[in-house]
Structure 1
């Protein structure tokens, strides 16, 4: 793209990483870009108004040019990018979304960004995230941007009931069960453990990204394996030691703040208020490990450029600016999304965010860590797959149904769904070229 009298792409990118000049950012309420010389940045992230405004302020600080930040729901996002690229009428210079939003667009609808990750490899993106960004090819189609995850939280009083010899930073699932039993007995037979099992809770992510991968090594392909049956039978025992009100919990920070439970697992955004009043009384820890490893789910976001997008030199400069360690820390401070580049967490951040950042890092870097992703490529049908995991939970755990017959029946539902959607497997299952299916 370089021409006479223009800076090289490498020079432009270098400049973005060493400058942070603030500039005026006009509000952007629609997708049209006529009448402005700024970049349009279309994203599925930070859709709440307050989050979007904080991110626009971050853009003004981090980038020396006007940027119109436009948010979109995931389903229309993928359709919109595809249709604009195929029509040769792309209006967004930069797009941002989850791995599951971006991977289906690669490589046919995204520009090759291998130059950015190559030029700035010293920033320290995790190898497993760079592998995801290659989408099964040898080129990079998006730059890892920010991440979130799910962790354990516990009050210090609950730590007193850890099994002998157990390390809270390196628990096994058996030790988690023993811990829940001991804490319940010490609490007058009142359960101390809670899980977000309500209609709006994220307990299905626990099954998809934590329990089943840790027991089976996969999420879909191993869904009906003997190890999966063992995992569901384990879950039945764990649930017997959970607070009965867990079937109503949408997020764990409220019952933990209220003292209803002293141990819980949830998304970091749904735990952030737990230590607010007494930060010295709470701990955040990695999820447990099982026979196949420490399954954990990364909610990974990335930055990409649609194929044929306008003003790609400045788009690359914006992506480079958002990859700076200090900018990613600013994003953590503003919207509680954690850096993907190597950086230290400042001491002046709220205690909860520092705790969570440490737990997320230890989880990812721990021995036998096994990366899992939310479903990729299903778009608006992702809810159908999540319902399968919830239905297994209801039948096996809540109603005491047979685990083997339940997973066999639900495996047929999964295979039909994935065949209709024509999607390949995602981590931790091996990515292939064919349609993903339960073995």
Structure 2
């Protein structure tokens, strides 16, 4: 895929190979409970920017860039978010002005959201890729939401670790074998692991399996769950885990241990790596995830804005249009490391860490073997159960030493049970067949 999120100017056609029945639902950041702020007469309810620092920075962006409406930004976990919207719309007493969430957060609310096709028409010249507009239709013919922002995951590298790279390896074009050899060499040379993993209670490590490791080894996810290639991937992961910092089970993100020097190399969400190079950006590089037998699997994150039925659509449109301006979206990039969906020339004065990340994602999307993966959609309260399947595979295979074939066979039954309950189709990189329940292979 030659198009990039970060070309200059900021113009690209995001290569989403998805049918209209498919969906993207990665978790940028989520935590239990709600976080609210007062001072506004228009409520913006969202699943995004739940960490206090991110939320405060976004509130300032709202205050600085939305001049005609006083906005109160309330963030909460996905389950509570869904319940709030459905309850208010059902009761005909809607106090929420607009909502913001990942594609998968919004898809289950399709019947509760206003048709915003007219607003989509007004924003048709903003440079938002057609593929993103197609996603907003949620399988129908009308726009149910407006694209908001996008992101992905990359590998952060302290330059001190580069001396341990395997001979002839290119840090920007690593294979999974070279990634493992790097971890082994670094551990042996320094006497301690140089590689870390965000495997804490709130870490996004399940996205590594769902969007990177397994697609890269198998070319799929659900339909290849028990395949010989999946067994190979998990066997690899067990060996990689032996060479990772064992404190990784305490890491909810890698930017903190990397900033402290506990970890020199690690994969995480761009928003959870951005603080690592903050003090000494010249000591760092950001690079794509490794390449596997089936390609460079990576996960694309897409979020959007919606308007609950019965809300003040005109006022919501005012806020959405203000947040869709290039300067506003670039400020979100600058402050919270989520990238614009609109056409916008990337400024030269971005924070150094964000520039490093933009280089890594450009290399990822420009790779000839790039393979887009999307997290599940339409799972509702079952989303956590699907994530837990992959976490349990990691625990049993990598931490407890169980045989991958046995674990995958047992977990396949759990995964199929969940999919049968919610009756959702597969999602990329698996083949998408609208109306058919995804079948574990």
TM-score, normalised via structure 1 length? 0.83
The answer for unaligned runs of 5 or more in structure 1 is 1-26, 31-35
Contact persistence 2:63–2:71 (CA under 8 A): no
Instruction: Return the alpha-carbon distance in structure 2 between the equivalents of residues 28 and 415 of structure 1.
Output: 40
Match of 2:87 among 83, 96, 103: 83
CA 135–291 in structure 1, closer or farther in 2 if over 3 Å, else same: farther
Give the Cα–Cα distance (whole angstroms) in 1 for the partners of residues 87 and 57 of structure 2.
30
Q: Distance in 1 between matches of 2:122 and 2:168?
A: 46
- Write the distance in 2 (CA, Å) between the matches of 1:367 and 1:131: 24
Report if aligned partners of 2:69, 2:315 keep a CA contact under 8 Å in 1.
no
* Contact residue 211 and residue 297 of structure 2 kept, 8 A: yes
Q: Within 1, Cα distance between the matches of 2:425 and 2:123?
A: 30
Corresponding position of 1:156: 159
- Alpha-carbon distance in structure 2 between the residues aligned to 1:344 and 1:159: 32
> Once the 2 structures are TM-superposed, how far is the Cα of residue 113 of structure 1 from its aligned partner?
3.1
Secondary structure of residue in 1 paired with 2:68: coil
How far off is 1:404 after superposition?
Answer: 1.2
Contact 1:41 1:67 (C-alpha < 8 Å) held by counterparts: no
Give the SS at the match of 1:169.
coil
- Which of 101, 105, 109 pairs up with 2:105? 101
- Equivalent residue number for residue 257 of structure 1: 259
Higher relative contact order (CA 8 A, sep 6+): 2
Report which of the two structures shows the higher radius of gyration computed on alpha carbons. Answer: 1
In 2: Cα distance, 1:147 partner to 1:402 partner? 37
Deviation at residue 438 of structure 1 after TM alignment = 1.0
Q: Are the aligned partners of 1:216 and 1:222 in contact in 2 as well (CA < 8 Å)?
A: yes
- C-alpha displacement of 1:105: 1.7
1:119 deviation in Å? 4.5
Task: Give the 3 Å change call, closer, same or farther, for CA 431–73 of structure 1 in structure 2.
Answer: farther
- Map 1:34-433; keep pairs closer than 5 Å: 39-71=42-74, 72-106=76-110, 108-188=111-191, 190-310=192-312, 312-429=313-430, 430=432, 432-433=434-435
Secondary structure of 1:283's aligned partner? strand
1:74: how far off? Answer: 1.6
Please report how far the alpha carbon of residue 49 of structure 1 lies from its aligned counterpart in structure 2 after TM superposition.
4.8
User: Which residue in the other structure is 2:30 paired with?
Assistant: none
Residue 133 to residue 217, structure 1, CA distance change in 2 (3 Å): farther
CA displacement 1:251-309 (0-9 Å, x = unmatched): 22233223233111112232222112221111111212222332222332211122343
Secondary structure at the aligned position of 2:147 is classed as strand
Shift of 1:68: 3.0
Summarize the Cα distance change of 1:76–1:258 in structure 2 as closer, same or farther, 3 Å threshold. Answer: closer
**C-alpha root-mean-square deviation of aligned residues, in Å?**
2.6
Deviation per residue, 1:105-162 (Å, 9 max, x gap) = 22x2223334444544443334543343232334432222122322101111222333
Mapped contact 1:100–1:377 kept (Cα < 8 A): yes
Indicate how the Cα distance of structure 1 residues 408 and 332 shifts in structure 2: closer, same or farther if over 3 A, else same: same
Structure 2: segments with no counterpart, 5+ residues: 1-35
For each residue in 1:368-396, what CA deviation from the matched residue of structure 2 results, as whole angstroms up to 9, or x when unmatched? Answer: 33333333233333222222112111222
Match of 1:23 in 2: none
Aligned length: 404
Compute the TM-score of the two structures, normalised by the length of structure 2.
0.82
CA distance in 2, matches of 1:424, 1:92: 30
Question: Cα gap change, 1:280/1:318 in structure 2, threshold over 3 Å: closer, same or farther?
Answer: same
Work out the CA distance in 1 between the residues paired with 2:425 and 2:208. 22
